[in-house]
Amino acid sequence: MSNCIELSHLHKRYDRFALQDISLAMKEGYITGLIGPNGAGKTTLIKMIMGMVHPDQGEISLFGLDNQEHQPAIKSRIGYVSDENIYYEQLTVKQMKKIIAPFYSRWDENTYLKYQELFKLPPGKKIKDLSKGMKIKFSLAIALSHGADLLIMDEPTSGLDPVFRREMLDLLTEHIQDEKKSILFSTHNTTDLDRIADYIVFINDGKMVFNEMKEALTEKYLLVKGGKELLDRDVRRLFLGIRESALGFEGLVGNRAEGERFFKDNAICETPTLEEIMYFTVKGCDVHV
Ligand SMILES: Nc1ncnc2c1ncn2[C@@H]1O[C@H](COP(=O)(O)OP(=O)(O)OP(=O)(O)O)[C@@H](O)[C@H]1O
Ligand 1 closest atom vs CA 45:
18
Tell me the best of 11, 12, 16, 43 to mutate to test the pocket of ligand 1, counting ligand atoms within 8 Å of each CB and taking the most.
43
pLDDT score recorded for residue 150: 96
- Ligand 1 within 6 A of CB of 41: yes
- Ligand 1 within 6 A of CB of 243: no
Mean pLDDT over residues 218-233, rounded?
Answer: 92
How many Å is the Cα radius of gyration of the chain? 21
pLDDT (tens digit, 9 = 90+) per residue, 54-102? 999 999 999 999 998 898 889 999 999 987 777 888 999 999 999 999 9
Query: Does the ipTM surpass 0.85?
Result: yes
Q: Which whole-number Å values give the CA distances from 9 to 25, 49, 65, 86, 209, in the listed order?
A: 11, 13, 17, 28, 14
**In the chain, at which residue ranges do the beta strands (DSSP E only) sit?**
3-14, 17-27, 31-35, 57-62, 65-66, 78-82, 150-154, 182-186, 199-204, 207-213, 222-226, 239-244, 249-253, 268-270, 287-288
Length of the chain: 289
Q: How far apart, in whole angstroms, are the C-alpha atoms of residue 69 and residue 273?
A: 41
- Ligand 1 within 6 A of CB of 206: no
Mean pLDDT over residues 231-256, rounded?
Answer: 91
pLDDT (tens digit, 9 = 90+) per residue, 127-178? 999 988 889 899 999 999 999 999 999 988 887 888 888 988 999 999 888 8
Instruction: Name the percent of the chain lying above pLDDT 90.
Output: 71
Strand partners, 65: 62
- Ligand 1 within 6 A of CB of 54: no
Residue ranges of domains in the chain, CATH in brackets: 3-216 (3.40.50.300), 221-288 (no CATH)
- Ligand 1 within 6 A of CB of 88: no
How remote is the CA of residue 16 from the centroid of ligand 1, in Å? 9
Of all protein residues, the one whose alpha carbon is nearest to atom 13 of ligand 1 is 39
